[in-house]
Structure 1
Amino acid sequence: MKKLNISLFVLAMVALSSCTVIGGIFKAGAAVGVIAVIVIIGIILWIISAFRGKQ
């Protein structure tokens, strides 16, 4: 019976920590996505300004 309680405790700890990890991954993913969009918009603006400068 004691082994069962320890097993349930370990299972609960693993499940709860995985939720925290997933939350961190989503937060990091959102930040990286925002930065990627800003970089892509900057590159597009730079390319447009390079073509306008040559005319």
Structure 2
Amino acid sequence: MKTLLRILPVAFLALFFTLTMTSCAAIGDIFKAGAYTGIIGVIVVIVLVIWLVSKMFGGGSRNS
């Protein structure tokens, strides 16, 4: 039950972002801003996804 309560807020946040962000608008804005902005954006998204997955599946060194 503790694991479910830890994962639930992250799952709701991911669902919220999935439903509210449109990919076509994001891609259009990236192309308007330039290539370097797109590269930095992709790197930030990849790092964020890796961080979220590690938090969801116990990527920390602390045991509770």
Given the two structures, how large is their TM-score scaled by the length of structure 2? 0.39
Task: Report which structure shows greater RCO (CA 8 Å, sep ≥6).
Answer: 2
Greater percentage in helix = 1
Which of these two proteins has the greater Rg computed from alpha carbons?
1
Given the two structures, how large is their TM-score scaled by the length of structure 1? 0.45
